[in-house]
Chains A and B, each alone.
Chain A
Amino acid sequence: MRMLLYKAWIETRVRFASGLIAVAIVCIFQIEQHAWLVAMWAREWADPKGYHFSWMPLGIHEYGWYLWHYLYDNYLQQVWALFAILFAFGGLIRERSGGTVLFSLGLPVSRRRWLFSRLAVALLESIALSMFAIVVVVIGSAIIHQTFSLQQMLLHTALMIAAGVFLIAFGNLCYTLFPGNYLSLVLTLVLLGAPYLWLQTYMQHMRYLGRSTWLGYFDFAHAMAGPWQLNWSSAPWLTLLLTWTLTAALLAVTVVHGDRIDY
């Protein structure tokens, strides 16, 4: 098992390094923008003719809310989701295009073990990526002299990962189903990314306007972000349960389909 994890790590380490850079850029940019955005919101709020959104006082006074909104409810989550999907990219189907699948299948390793070792590495890398974001935020916030609840940060990270496993499983199923090498990646990103981003943007707009819609049930991004003050009782347990059930179902379909493929 150790060598399978090692192989999956070698295959994904460049993606992982890219993910670290992307996460660092997103976190540093948002921290750097904090003072400027807060000043702008304060001006708007003070101006009777300016924009007056209900979240503005929170944005101005709560650095924790700012971090949650820009990182866990928006950009960090998007970057993390993108890389989680990229980490899961690969496997026996891809090896078939690369010509190494017969060597891999000639080893005494079941197809399921190949699958789960790769998914385990994708999950570990995704966890490491989100932990790295915390480190960047801690250092960056110290530099701009802002304080926040580390516990909240850890809880949001845990929620993002707990719900985000669905993306890894869904992406992996797409890679198994779609033909071609990079075509499958593009199709997966379009199939997963387009509705995810569109719904996230649309539902955030609706929330700003104080409206609700049935599309909210499919707002997976909001489920990954949770409420800004997350605790045991405010955690979206029902959503998580549904997400894990769907993840298990997707993995089961991937396993059954993978077992039937002729190489």
Chain B
Amino acid sequence: MTAVIETESLKKTYGKHEAVRGLNLCVEAGSVCAFLGQNGAGKSSTIKMLLGMIHPTSGTGRVLGHRIDKERESLLIRQNVAFVAEDKRLYDYMTVAQIVRFTKSFFPGWKRDLEQRLLAQFELPLDRKVRQLSKGMRTKLTLLLGFARGCELLILDEPTEGLDPVAIEDVLQIVVSLAAQGTTVFFSSHQIAEVEQVADHVLMIDRGQLVLDAPMDQVKEEYRHIHAVFPEPVEERDLRLPGVEKVQTEGRTVSLTASHNVDSIVAHVRMLRARSVDVLPVSLKEIFLEKVRARG
């Protein structure tokens, strides 16, 4: 598979604050890749670097084969990337029709049929000024302006923020259908349930560093909680095995989080004479919280 987004040791500092610290990313063509992280983890800074809105302090990156640190190439990137920013404010002095006309003029591959469908689906009034739209309507308009561009890559920063559940479902369906048509989707979100619903790859970032890079199927299949009860308290170091991400002991009860190698870990726990061993699935939300808390 070809990579549409690649970064190598990408770094961004603001004064003394390191927002992104040596990030190595790879997003493959045709994937729906979720980019997770807490507020201030470096997600938006990374996306802005990919699109030439901020300049990397060091490191390199390529989007669709074009270098992100060259203004001329950044322009080529933005010709083929539809970006929906976290801040969904638009030119409030334009009407819906004006801003659609304005945006479409920059994209030769503009999908008029999708534009018409979304205008109807989102019930966006063409003659109304953007300033007169509600926050949810503005978000819908921003998404329409991104989706209809007909680009190879769609970068969405918190796409469903401010939307009601019905609209969120609609948006996720559109994302899935665009992905089915071959568009690569790279999106950041705090809504982990949405991520689980549509993403086929997960990247997790914490304090500017990548802490998880795995296909969603692998995450769902391989991440497990292992609960074991022992006759005597056990040492935590006895449970430090390959694949064990986190160990929590409470007297004779041990709780492990494993990212892989589950069978060997269970066998090892049994060998330590555990009275009972339970293997439970782990949700993406739990993985996210554990990754973040482990580093905290």
User: Do they bind each other?
Assistant: yes
Distance in Å: Cβ of B97 to nearest Cβ of chain A: 13
Q: B28-69, CB under 8 A of A: which get 1 and which 0? A: 000000000000000000001001111100000000000000
For chain A residues 52-107, which have a beta carbon within 8 Å of chain B? 98-100, 102-103, 105-107
Q: Is A207 an interface residue (CB 8 A)?
A: no
The answer to whether B53 touches A262, judged by C-beta atoms less than 8 angstroms apart, is: yes
Contact of A100 among B78, B79, B81, B91 (CB under 8 A): B91
Distance in Å: Cβ of A50 to nearest Cβ of chain B: 55
Measured between alpha carbons, how far is A3 from B104 in the docked complex, in Å? 10
Q: Is B193 an interface residue (CB 8 A)?
A: no
Q: Is A245 an interface residue (CB 8 A)?
A: no
Q: Is A49 an interface residue (CB 8 A)?
A: no
The answer to whether A11 touches B93, judged by C-beta atoms less than 8 angstroms apart, is: yes
Distance in Å: Cβ of A221 to nearest Cβ of chain B: 34
The answer to whether A3 touches B106, judged by C-beta atoms less than 8 angstroms apart, is: yes
Q: What are the residues of chain B within 8 A of A109 when measuring CB–CB?
A: 75, 78, 106
Using A3-B106, A99-B89 as known contacts, say yes or no to A263 and B75 having CB atoms under 8 A apart: no
The answer to whether B54 touches A7, judged by C-beta atoms less than 8 angstroms apart, is: no
Contact of A102 among B82, B87, B103 (CB under 8 A): B87
Q: Is A2 an interface residue (CB 8 A)?
A: yes
The answer to whether B51 touches A103, judged by C-beta atoms less than 8 angstroms apart, is: no
The answer to whether B87 touches A7, judged by C-beta atoms less than 8 angstroms apart, is: no
Q: What are the residues of chain A within 8 A of B106 when measuring CB–CB?
A: 3, 107-109
Q: B125-143, CB under 8 A of A: which get 1 and which 0? A: 0000000000000000010
Distance in Å: Cβ of B51 to nearest Cβ of chain A: 6
Q: What are the residues of chain A within 8 A of B81 when measuring CB–CB?
A: 106
Q: Is B187 an interface residue (CB 8 A)?
A: no
Q: What are the residues of chain A within 8 A of B90 when measuring CB–CB?
A: 100, 103
The answer to whether A3 touches B105, judged by C-beta atoms less than 8 angstroms apart, is: yes
Distance in Å: Cβ of A93 to nearest Cβ of chain B: 13
* Total residues of chain B contacting the partner, CB 8 A: 32
Using A3-B106, A6-B102, A7-B102 as known contacts, say yes or no to A106 and B89 having CB atoms under 8 A apart: no
Q: B84-116, CB under 8 A of A: which get 1 and which 0? A: 111101110110001001110111000000000
Distance in Å: Cβ of A263 to nearest Cβ of chain B: 5
Q: A98-139, CB under 8 A of B: which get 1 and which 0? A: 111011011111110000000000000000000000000000
Q: Is A10 an interface residue (CB 8 A)?
A: yes
The answer to whether A103 touches B142, judged by C-beta atoms less than 8 angstroms apart, is: yes
Using A10-B94, A11-B93, A108-B106 as known contacts, say yes or no to A102 and B53 having CB atoms under 8 A apart: yes
Distance in Å: Cβ of B44 to nearest Cβ of chain A: 9
A-B contact pairs, 13 of them (CB 8 A): A10-B98, A11-B93, A103-B90, A105-B51, A106-B85, A107-B103, A108-B76, A108-B78, A109-B106, A110-B71, A110-B75, A262-B53, A263-B53
